[in-house]
Structure 1
Amino acid sequence: MVSVKHTVAVEPVPYPWLADAVTVIRTLVEESRADEQGLVLPDGQVARDIRLTRGRHLLPGSVYVIEDEADDGKAKADTDGSGEDKKAVDARDTVQITVREWDHRRAVRLELAVAEDDMTIELDGTLKSPDRPAEVEITGRTQGGAAPRTLFDMAGRARVRLDDWWPAADTGRASASAPASARLDHRWIRADARAVPRPSRDDGRWDIHVIVSLRGRRLLRPVAAVLLAFAALGIRRSLVRTLDGLAAQWNDRVPHLVAMNADQLREALLSSQRGENDRRTTGPPGTD
């Protein structure tokens, strides 16, 4: 088994801001409507890359499809004089979202199915008590791939108990178990991760203590143990670099978001869609 312990310092997020942000996003979605053009936002903008394909807006069983419009998947004109049209190199990626529950008092639960080449990714995400976010849980699996299936078939689960996270992060009050945990199961290896926040002694940041462990599974456990022992140093260095990189990105972006109030956040979300619509209208820089 390989075990890695590492601590990162990150900018804090006040719980009231999180609750407001969830309400802003939920309200924007609820105030939108779906028609043949796409998803019509409250200010009249149309998000054309997402379409309701089954059911009624936000009712359980409704299905939405998001398509990547970077490549339309159609045959391209001949550019090399060979007389043959060229097929698009990359197939369009699609995401299917199914609403399983939408109740701002109880829970919001969505299922996502991502089709990418010959690989599929299935996720099931639940936010409990959206009006007062209490817990986030995500389960998922991947299947397929051009390489042998055993390389890509995995299942995982992640959970953050928000009711335990903030008391631990702001006051240092410990809970019976780590408020954030995740597990990833592959045929050969199992990875477990736990995260426990504490208030920093030096500044207003959170110190997040992370423990990641890797171990072999089933009949391959002895073989995996040997391989992990040889690769332990490289694995530790890679995980530490990854955690430090994620913390750096968090610290670069989160303070700007947390500085926004609910109205400013709502306007920022709508403005980002305006920018996307303008880009589609005018085309990328350098095009006529």
Structure 2
Amino acid sequence: MTVLRHSVSVLALEPDRLQELTGLIFDLAESTRAQGEEILLEDGQPVEDVRLVEGRHLRPGARYELSEAGATDQVALLVREWQRRSAIAVEQLLVSDDATVRMTLRLRTPDRPRLLEVEGRVRGPEGSGALRRGSGKARLDLAAWWAATGLAPGAPPAVRAPATARLKHRLGKARLCLRPRRADGGRWQVDVALTVRGRWLLRPVAAVALMVAGRPVRRGFRSAVEQAADAWNRSVGELLALTPDDLRAELKRQATERTPEQPMGAPPP
């Protein structure tokens, strides 16, 4: 078993700001209507790259197909549950030449977000074998997260990590834990721990491989955590700079703006 650890400083996203954001997103979604396969905003503008192909709009069983200009991947979205006071659950299916990915997201009490659960499976093309398959689960207990960030400086951390993810593969398992602490300047200090182990007879082999490649693996882990923190800081920084009216306008713009087709070999925007 190998444990990798790193700590990063990130901008804090407080409960009231998150609640405001999720409320705006769900308000916008519920202001839309279906006209045949087309989804229209309240003012009649079409939501680009989304088609309703089965069921009633925003009702359990509703199935949507998502598309982007020039993309060959097949992406479908299925509504499993839609109750603002209790839970919203959606399932996404992505089929490409390289893999099939099925992921379910469930948010409890969306108007006052408290728990986000994600479960997914991935498999390679038909006939690619068991080594191209894996599964994972993630859980973010927002109530526990806010409680952890509200602890006094120097207080012992909570026994259970508020955010966890588990990955399973034929060759091994991994468990990721995030524990936040309040820091100065409107920031959080987040301690990240990744536990990796081989499965069954492969455990000694995995242990030796991780020992031999120890330094590159640890550098790669730290780099990945730092990059994730940088991406979070950029996104949250932009979000915190927007007023509620700006947020509504930006959400509407993203819903109605068609994804531009990329030239062959060009990176995404």
- In the superposition, the TM-score normalised over structure 2's length comes to 0.90
Amino acid at match of 1:33: R
For residues 140 and 170 of structure 1, the distance between their equivalents in structure 2, rounded to whole angstroms, comes to 31
1:52-81 alpha-carbon deviations (Å, 9 max, x no partner)? 11110011111111122224xxxxxxxxxx
Q: Is the 8 A contact 1:118 1:146 kept in 2?
A: no
Contact 2:84 2:110 in 1 (8 A): yes
Q: How does 1:1-288 map to 2 (within 5 A)?
A: 1-36=1-36, 38-71=38-71, 92-145=72-125, 148-172=128-152, 174-200=157-183, 202-276=184-258
Q: Which amino acid aligns with 1:114?
A: L
230-239 vs 99-108, greater mean Cα deviation: 230-239
Shift of 1:30: 0.8
- Offset of 1:180 from its aligned partner? 0.3
Give, in whole Å, the separation in 1 of the partners of 2:255 and 2:31: 15
Instruction: Say which structure, 1 or 2, has more relative contact order (CA 8 Å, 6+ apart).
Output: 2
Give, in whole Å, the separation in 2 of the partners of 1:175 and 1:60.
Answer: 37
Give per-residue Cα distances to partners, 1:189-216, cap 9 Å, x unaligned.
111110000011x432100001011110
Whether the 8 Å contact between 2:37 and 2:53 is mirrored in structure 1 is no
Structure 1: gaps of 5 or more residues: 72-91
Distance across 2 between alignment mates of 1:106 and 1:145: 37
Report the more deviating stretch, 257-266 or 118-127.
Answer: 257-266
Partner of 2:266: none
Q: How many residues align?
A: 260
Which shifted more, 141-150 or 178-187?
141-150
Q: Which runs of 5 or more structure 2 residues have no equivalent in the other structure?
A: 264-269
In 1: Cα distance, 2:14 partner to 2:79 partner: 29
Tell me by how many angstroms 1:146 deviates: 7.8
Structure 2 CA distance for aligned equivalents of residues 212 and 190 of structure 1: 10
Whether the 8 Å CA contact 2:37–2:52 is kept in 1: the answer is no
CA contact (8 A) 1:68 1:94 kept: no
Please give the alpha-carbon distance, in whole angstroms, between the structure 2 residues aligned to 1:147 and 1:61. 31
State the alpha-carbon separation in 1 of the partners of residues 258 and 123 from structure 2.
32
Q: Choose 1 or 2 for highest CA Rg.
A: 1
The 3-state SS of whatever aligns with 2:85 is coil
- Percent identity at matched positions? 37
Rounded Cα–Cα distance in structure 1 between residues aligned with 2:185 and 2:27: 34
What is the Cα deviation at residue 118 of structure 1? Answer: 4.6
Separation of aligned partners in 1, 2:213 and 2:128: 23
Give 1:113 deviation, angstroms: 0.7
User: Which deviations, in whole Å up to 9, do the C-alpha atoms of 1:123-182 show, x marking residues without a partner?
Assistant: 011000111100000000101238943332000001000001012124357433000000
Specify the SS of the correspondent of 2:13. coil
- Contact 2:175–2:195 under 8 Å retained in 1: yes
Secondary structure of 1:13's match? coil
**Structure 1 residue 220 displacement after superposition:** 1.5
Post-superposition offset of 1:246? 1.1
RMSD: 2.1
Larger deviation, residues 55-64 vs 42-51 = 42-51
Letter in 2 for 1:101: E
